[in-house]
Chains A and B, each alone.
Chain A
């Protein structure tokens, strides 16, 4: 039987969605429409059939069993901590873990805690005649050295702060080091780096980087500090061009009293470099002056005389470099082989291999 066009109205009536005028209109229509009345009767049958699908009521025994089962299960549920309690415990555990993780990271990185200041991260040992002053403008530790010698140790993990040592004529910026600097008569005599490196500004058109084990020396003043062996070294360096180089250490801007390399004119109780240090410095002077052959000889002599010095490896490396720059390829490769056999995993082994492989 084809459904009535107003069936939707009848459905709405059955579902109780009509009221007022719409309800009265639907009732009037139902009274006059056979198809819709049939539809309503069928709906009632369906409803009755569904209700019968529910089956009969459970027996008393089944009810009692079900009741006991339910109460036992509910009792178990009530004994267990609720989800809120578990959640609280989880949050507490997560918070504790986070705190522990933060503490561990800080300890590993040795980060300074709020009470630490830059003073604790920079240690300065001053000579008896030192005249210096410290200040701490924002993000920087500043040391003004007017006279004397300082040994500066900068501890790692200081965050953003940097250290700057100013002498009357130079500026030395720490890049994470232990270094020494000496000033006399308002002139910086040397800067010696033991660990890390520093950048030296004012000694030339561009900053000079001084690595661990290296020493920057002002040529005139260094010649005044030379120890006893130095004249011997200078005598070994016989060729005429190098002699002026040795004395050129005292040339240019140096005052007249700079010709002697052995004397240390300074009367005060300042620490004097060991012979190894001074020999190394002499060799470095020749190297910086571009006297490659002489520098190579001096470094070779240094290795022979101070085989156990902590700078022996540097000397071996610099000898290779000096020979390479002097164009003495065969000697350079021989020196490179000697370096690599003695220091197969040396600090400069990679560079030495590269030099040896070149040409």
Chain B
């Protein structure tokens, strides 16, 4: 089994996933090359230190789910949906652990609102969010998925997506500081 990508790469994600469903490991390798960075980035935002394991798990899950792929040309939202479900399934102590560490270190609130680095504050604030809301807000804000796409990939109603998104953003702004509310 070669780790080199095939010369004749498959353009269409749907065709690629059909080959993956048929047990073609080369096609799986192509899928990995194409989307692993995006999936890894999502997992880093949503789960922190378990990101690489979650990203691997996402692609293994995709192999099992490939026969049921709906045939769209771009499978990125589908993969991100799988990754989100992996994150939710894990429900690791990322948020609690980080918050606990933060409180232990600061002796105060989980988000250091005096920190000028917004990215760091944002990371802390995301860790405070419940996993269900965190995943939705990252998919919407960072990954650019529409509410309908998020609803489809997570298997929840669209109204639930908007509700979670509303509360997640409100909570994030509150954690970031008064000037954000």
Do chains A and B interact in one complex?
yes
Min Cβ gap B163→A in Å is: 12
A51 within 8 A of B: yes
Min Cβ gap B23→A in Å is: 5
- Chain A interface extent, by class: 20 to 34
How many A-B residue pairs have C-beta atoms within 8 angstroms? Tell me. Answer: 100
A64 within 8 A of B: yes
Stretch at the interface among A24-32, A65-73, A180-188: A65-73
Stretch at the interface among B10-18, B95-103, B105-113, B172-180: B172-180
Chain A: which residue is nearest B30 at the CB level? Answer: A67
What mask results when residues 52 to 91 of chain A are scored 1 for a CB within 8 Å of chain B, else 0?
Answer: 1111011000011011111101110110000000000000
- Are B3's CB and A47's CB within 8 A? no
- Are A78's CB and B23's CB within 8 A? yes
Interface positions, chain A 248-270, Cβ under 8 Å from B, are: none
Chain A residues with Cβ below 8 Å from B152 are none
- Are A74's CB and B172's CB within 8 A? no
Min Cβ gap A30→B in Å is: 17
Given pairs A50-B122, A71-B25, 18 additional interface contacts (CB within 8 A)? A42-B180, A43-B169, A49-B122, A50-B45, A52-B119, A54-B40, A54-B44, A54-B45, A55-B41, A57-B37, A58-B40, A63-B36, A66-B36, A66-B52, A67-B29, A67-B32, A70-B29, A73-B60
Cross-chain pairs A/B with CB under 8 angstroms, 13 sampled: A11-B166, A15-B162, A46-B141, A46-B172, A50-B137, A53-B44, A53-B45, A53-B142, A55-B40, A58-B36, A66-B52, A69-B56, A71-B29
Question: Which A residues are closer than 8 A to B by beta carbons?
Answer: 1, 3, 11, 15-17, 42-43, 45-47, 49-55, 57-58, 63-64, 66-71, 73-75, 77-78
Given the known inter-chain contacts A66-B56, A70-B59, please indicate yes or no for A50 contacting B3, CB distance below 8 A: no
Chain B residues with Cβ below 8 Å from A64 are 3
Chain B: which residue is nearest A83 at the CB level? Answer: B64
Chain A residues with Cβ below 8 Å from B52 are 66
Shortest 3 CB-CB distances between A and B: which pairs?
A54-B41, A50-B142, A49-B122
Chain B residues with Cβ below 8 Å from A55 are 40-41, 44
- Are B122's CB and A53's CB within 8 A? yes
Chain A residues with Cβ below 8 Å from B36 are 58, 63, 66-67
Given the known inter-chain contacts A15-B147, A54-B45, please indicate yes or no for A71 contacting B1, CB distance below 8 A: yes
- Are B60's CB and A77's CB within 8 A? yes
Chain A residues with Cβ below 8 Å from B137 are 50
Chain B residues with Cβ below 8 Å from A1 are 179
